[in-house]
């Protein structure tokens, strides 16, 4: 759906606040959200979004 697509776009941009706008219960995820922009601590350096973005930026 359009809402799912918009959420995916927010995820790729690490737009945490934008993701909260689409959450069913925005208050709970806000308490777990990172303070800094970028990947969350769950994946860290293994974040698939970051890895793919870096790969594509290198022209591969």
Domain spans, the chain: 2-57
Cα–Cα nearest to 42, from 50, 2, 17, 4? 50
Q: Give the tens place of pLDDT for each residue, 5-55.
A: 998 898 888 888 888 888 888 888 777 776 776 677 677 788 888 889 889
pTM: 0.65
Burial class (CB in 10 A: 0-12, 13-18, 19+), 36: exposed
């Amino acid at each position: 759906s359009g809402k799912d697509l918009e959420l995916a776009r927010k995820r790729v941009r690490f737009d945490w606040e934008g993701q909260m706008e689409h959450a069913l219960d925005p208050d709970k995820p806000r308490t777990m959200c990172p303070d800094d922009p970028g990947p969350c601590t769950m994946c860290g350096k293994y974040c698939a979004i970051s890895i793919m973005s870096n790969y594509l930026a290198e022209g591969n």
